[in-house]
Each structure stands twice: as C-alpha cells, then as structure tokens.
Chains A and B, each alone.
Chain A
C-alpha cells in the first residue's frame, strides 16, 4: 500500500502475508503485498463479490448479458461472474454477447476466442455485427475516414450494437469488463477534453438505468494488472492483441500517464476514481436533455443520435460529419436548409468555400 520504495533483494522464499502457510508467488499490483496464488484468487474474487453486493448490481432471477470481446477483461469477467454466481447463489442467467466490428486480423481472431469461451464456461453466445446493423464494417469505415477519428465511430456503433444485442437476448442488464484503469483514464480524459456532462456520469458503477438496458461495471475497482495476473495464473483463454486501428487514440496519453503513475503510487488509480466520484458539478453548467432519435428511436440528447449522424456522414461521403465540437444542433445536419448561413464547424473546410 505504500510508495514504491527501493526494496532490498529477497534473501530467500517469503511467506504469504495473508495465510503465512504457503510461499508467496507474486506481489499484488494494487497493494504490493506478497501473497500466494490461492490467496490471490481468494482476495481477487472476494473483492469483486463485495463490489457486486455493496452496490446491489444484480437481483436474483435476472438475465445478464456479459459484453464479451474475447479480450482479458471480458474473459475474466465471464469466468469470475459464473464462478461467483455458483458460489454465492446470485441466481442469475448469464449470457455472452459479442460485437463483430468487421476488423480483419483482429476481430475475427478474438471472436474465435469467445466461441471457445462459450464452450468452456457453458454460457450461451450471441454475436451482433456492424455489417448487419449498419451496413458498414470498421475496415470499410477506416478506408473511408482514415485513422484519426475511427475510434469515435467504433465506440458509438458498439454502444448501440450492445443494446440491440441485449434486447434480442431479452436480458435485464449488461455487464461490461471496464476495469479501474479504464475508468481512471476516462476521468482524466473528460477533464482534458472539457466534457463535464460525461465527467459527472463516468464513475457511476451502474449507468443507463433510465435507458433501454442498464449497464454495470463489476470490475470498477479491479486493477488491469490484476486481471492479467488472474488470467495468467488460471490459464484462461483470451486474445491479447491491441486493436490494429487504435494507436492514435487520444486515450493513449492518459494511459501512458496512468502507467507511470502506477509505478510511483499504485493506489493513485483508485484515488482518481474516488476523486471522480466526489466531483460536484454546478447545476448552472449546461447538461444535455434526454430524448429519442428521430431517425431510429434510440436514446439521444440531440435530434438524431450520434450513430445516425455518423452513418449519414458515411453514406453521403462526408467523413467529418458529427466529428468535432458541435456549435449547434447536430453539427451540420441542417445544412440542406441553411446553406447560406455557413455550416457549423466542418473542420477541414476553408471559409468562403463551404458548399455541398
């Protein structure tokens, strides 16, 4: 729990600081305690169980979809959730829900992993694809818009895809594998980018309660390093490559910073989350109002939901539609009727030459 000071080399085998019986096999990333494997499994699982119970994430009899990408977070989530469901009698019906974004060499490989998880954990799997839902794969999207804003498209599309899939499965909730590192990054990102509305929501362990499908994050206080360690020691089957389109994401800045931070003070990750929980937002700050999208009926704070705006852009060959700061409603969507006024904020257009 202390700062990473320079420790003298271990003289010989160290006893586990929890059970004092077995030999310590690892140093716990969250607390730097030296513990054995069995105790690590126990504290890891127990902490998640406490989070689930203390925050009342589930009710007996609920159908829960686990967002499964085949990556370590969702694989460990599926494993631990089904284990805890058995051990503590949560009484849940668990499903795996996977999204196929259409990224060759990445997603098709990780989908194979999820299909194996379906068999290994005995959880029914459903796959929804961008191609079916939107008519575009990420490969096609990137070919059109390049590598700068592709993560925006993918993130927006995935959110809706998960909701659609969850509706098809008729589940009550969606559980995602967002871990403490992710949430800490998001808090920082929202500060850096001025998104006060998201800043007020992003540390909530349950979101979207007034929307189609509530989502929860059982791993909210679980360190990414510990998830990796758990998967490694338990020899869980997961796919461990970064998305091939992601290197330019702005989140990378926050991620690097947090990695450096963790080295100096491991508990800083949790401290960021706690800060995020304690932020009090002025009521005078403008907050978006919730409505529905005119085009598809999905939840939206604008006239059209973001997915529809982005799709419109793709279908009309306007890759920047919906990207960048919105000056007015829907960022240029009313351009047809308001050409003479100049369209709001199309970044790459030069003044004086705005036309469609």
Chain B
C-alpha cells in the first residue's frame, strides 16, 4: 500500500524493484488506519508493481504476512530474474565465449540458478539464430551434480530415482542441449577413491571439521570436473541466506581475514572461476519460486548441518524470523569488508571485454582492490592467509617432514578443526589426502623458500642449502 507521497519517510512500501524484501521494515497494522478507506492489508489486492494483476496473497497462494505476497506472480518472478541478470551483467559473469558449469544439488537455489541460466542461454540462442552476421556466439551450459553416496546414507533406490529426475530436468531444458555430469566425490582421487575418502573423513574428529572438509572436497571435485571437460566458469546457486550463514560461521571459526573472499559475486582464485549470481536473492524467495513455478527440487539429497554449522543455521533462521531483513543486513555488513584482488573476473586479452568491464566498473563504482595480493593460501580450504599466519611457515626447521610442512601451510582454522593433533595421526592423514591438496602445499613452501633466498642472496657465500 504505497501512499504515493514522494517525500513520505515513514518507511511504507515504495514501488521500486529493490524495495521488495531487501529494504523493508514490517508494516504494522496501525499504518493503514490513518484515515484511508483500506481496512485490511489485503483488501487492496492489486500487485504493488504492475497494479494490474492480483497479488499472490489475495490469490491464496502465499500467506498474507509475507512481503512476497504483495506482488503478482509475474512481477515476483521478474524481480528475481532481474536480480540474477543484474548480477551477471554487472560482474561480467558470462561472456559469449564462456562454457558455464552449473553446480546442481537438487535444492531450490541451484534449481533456480539452472533455470535462469537456461533462460538466458535460450534467449541468446534465439538472438543468434535471428541475427544475420552471427558475430556473437552463444555461451555453453553444462550441469554437474556431486554424488556423495560414498559418504552419506541415502537408500540407493531413492538416490537413483533422484538422478533420473535430474537427468530429465536437464534434458527438458533444451534447446540448447546441456551435458549432465554426475561427479562422484571420490573422483578427487585417481584410484581407490571410496576407501581412501572414508578413511580420510574418519581421521577428522571434529564434527564441524569433517563437514567443512567434505565441503572443500566438493569444490575440488567440481573444479576437477570443470577443468577436465573444458568449462570456463563454475556457477553456484548460493543465495543471501546461505551467505549470511557463512558470514557468521566464518567469524565464529576465526576466519575474519579470509571471510570477504568467499562472499562476493566472483571468486577467481580457483582454476575455474566461481560465480554467484543469486547472491541477492533470499532462500525464502527462491523456495517460493520453485513452489509457484513448478520447478522440481530433490530435497532428499541435502542433509542438515551439524556442529557449528548447524548451530549457526538455526541462529540465522531465528534472527530472520524476528526480522525479515536480517539476512540482507548481515551480507551487506560483510560486503563492506575489503575483498581481494581475485574477487573480480580477471581481465582477458579480449579488448572488447576489457572495455566493457572498465565501463561497468565505472558505472557501478567498483574499485579494483589496490592492496598487495596475499602471498599464500591454505592448501585445504584455499583461504588467503594473513601475514601473521604466513610467518609460521617460514619459521620451520630443516628437519620437518612433508606432513609437518603441510600442516604449517594450513590456515589456523583448518589446523584446529581438520588436522589431527598427534604427529603419527598427522602423518597418516597426510598420506590420505588427495593429490591436489598436497601439490598445492609443496608449491607454496618451495616458493616461500625461494622468496626468502632471494632476499638474502647477496649475503650467501655458498650456493647450496647447508652452506658447504
């Protein structure tokens, strides 16, 4: 019920795109009784935006209390797609020559991401077919599902049915055709994956550490799949709600330095850059869209969080119930922390893209991060290490084992919750790690040695390490 007054500041609804769920104070019941002839909130049941169609609330599909209820279905969907599209274009997420891999968990967020990417691709294809010179190619889209049946307890017939459902969803999202990859999480190992994975996870005693390690392996398997199949970007359906939970849980785990790296639109520290186009959409909205638009989701594959992650999820849910704009506020606050240089799409050789990104930066006031790039990253979770964490690596003696060196290269959070405490267990754990983690750590420690040596090169009297 927009009052229509341009300078009214009492916080009632305005009809602009972003006011729907992001800026809102809850309307109190008293607001309407100031002399207008509207007695009940849904008496006036036309969409807030287009003023033509019936609101979702009055058509009985949505509860009256929600903000979502004040739009009609088309405007609600249009608003969500608008947020998606804005994120994609203003962050240069998808260029015509890209091959996008969409990570699909079966849940509502990634289902919406898949749907919206398909719609973008479909439109690009139509434009391509209709255009005369066919200058702009259409980007490719593939879909990947990480199969964690090796480590979870889902009955296999439920699982197979879910996979079949996914296959049919993907095949229905054509033209253009999309490949569907089922990526077993044990594929991070080149051989004997299932056993090694089980042993690795059993070696982690902390419940939260185990869950987080699994998350890192999930990303590793997606990266591996994307790289091997020629994809250029990895697209996740992470929404505001999930990011809000990550902000709190990273804070709680002492990851305040690296937190900004994980919550931006773009994360290019990976081999295949990761993009988050649904960053501005709430889980509630995405759930609603799946429900209203008949987008099928497979919830059975998503198990609830435990340990710290579970506690944080309940906490954020509680806060969101108390105030529906809490998740947005959390993400907005964390958004004011300085991001890293890799939190934007790296500038390619394509001069067109370069110009376009410059224009974009100017338009949206995005400043490239001027600070020095971090010198190293944790080999397990890939979080950038601050100077003080980095120093510990350089203080090692020469008689340390590879496992010790690896351990020292990890961030404090992984050291505490993932790595075993006993040296013997640590050796065993190190032997179970996927090759990728180990290689990254070795590269890092030798590059550290090299850097140190360069600094003192002029003062060394001998070329060899031990001074002979």
**Interface, chain A (partner B; CB < 8 A):** 2-3, 5, 187-188, 190-196, 199, 253, 257, 260-261, 264-265, 267-268, 270-272, 274-282, 284-285, 327, 341-347, 349-354
Contacts and interface: CB of A to CB of B under 8 A. Distances in A.
28 contacts: A3-B417, A190-B333, A191-B334, A194-B333, A253-B322, A261-B252, A264-B307, A265-B308, A268-B252, A268-B253, A271-B251, A271-B253, A271-B254, A275-B250, A275-B253, A275-B255, A278-B256, A279-B337, A280-B257, A281-B336, A281-B337, A282-B337, A344-B9, A345-B9, A350-B34, A351-B10, A352-B3, A352-B34
A204 to B, nearest CB: 14
Given A275-B255, A275-B256, A279-B257, 8 more contacts: A2-B206, A188-B251, A195-B333, A279-B256, A345-B10, A346-B10, A350-B31, A351-B5
Contacts of A345: 9-11
A275 B7 contact: no
Contacts of B206: 2-3
Majority secondary structure of chain B interface residues (helix, strand, loop or mixed)? helix
Contact of B329 (A193, A265, A271): A193
Contacts of A196: 333, 336
Contacts of B307: 264
Nearest to B260: A280
A194 B329 contact: yes
Closest 6 CB pairs of A and B: A275-B256, A271-B254, A278-B256, A278-B257, A351-B10, A350-B34
A268 B257 contact: no
B302 interface: no
A350 B311 contact: no
Nearest to B32: A350
A343 B8 CA distance: 9
A349 B10 contact: yes
B5 A257 contact: no
A353 to B, nearest CB: 6
Interface string B415-426: 011000100000
B8 A351 contact: yes
B308 A191 contact: no
B5 A352 contact: yes
Given A260-B311, A271-B253, A276-B256, A342 B34 contact: no
Contact of B315 (A199, A257, A276, A344): A257
B319 A192 contact: yes
Nearest to B8: A351
A267 B257 contact: no
Given A265-B308, A278-B256, A191 B10 contact: no
Contacts of B60: none
Interface in B312-356: 315, 318-319, 322, 326, 329-330, 332-334, 336-338
Contacts of A352: 3, 5, 8, 34-35
A261 B413 CA distance: 16
Interface centre among A270, A274, A353 (most CB of B within 10 A): A274
Interface centre among B8, B33, B386 (most CB of A within 10 A): B8
Contacts of A351: 3, 5, 8-10, 12, 31, 34
Interface of B: 3, 5, 7-12, 30-31, 33-35, 205-208, 247-248, 250-257, 259-260, 307-308, 311, 315, 318-319, 322, 326, 329-330, 332-334, 336-338, 367, 386, 413, 416-417, 421
Contacts of A260: 311
B414 to A, nearest CB: 13
Contacts of A192: 319, 326, 329-330, 333
A308 B307 CA distance: 46
Contacts of A274: 254, 256
A344 B7 CA distance: 10
A193 to B, nearest CB: 7
A348 B252 CA distance: 36
B338 A5 contact: no
Contacts of B10: 345-347, 349-351, 354
B425 to A, nearest CB: 13
Contact of A271 (B12, B252, B315): B252
Contacts of A327: 9
B25 to A, nearest CB: 8
A5 B205 contact: yes
A191 B329 CA distance: 8
A195 B318 CA distance: 20
B308 A268 contact: yes
Contact of A272 (B8, B205, B251, B332): B251
B182 to A, nearest CB: 34
A5 B421 CA distance: 15
Contacts of A343: 9
A3 to B, nearest CB: 5
Contact of B205 (A3, A199, A284, A354): A3
Contact of A275 (B8, B207, B254, B322): B254
A253 B208 contact: no
Contacts of A346: 10
A315 to B, nearest CB: 24
Nearest to B258: A278
A193 B332 CA distance: 10
A275 B259 contact: yes
A226 to B, nearest CB: 20
A253 B326 CA distance: 13
B338 A282 contact: yes
A264 B314 CA distance: 14
Contacts of A2: 205-206, 421
Contacts of B248: 188, 191
A280 B337 contact: yes
A116 to B, nearest CB: 39
Contact of B338 (A275, A276, A280): A280
Given A281-B336, A350-B10, A264 B326 contact: no
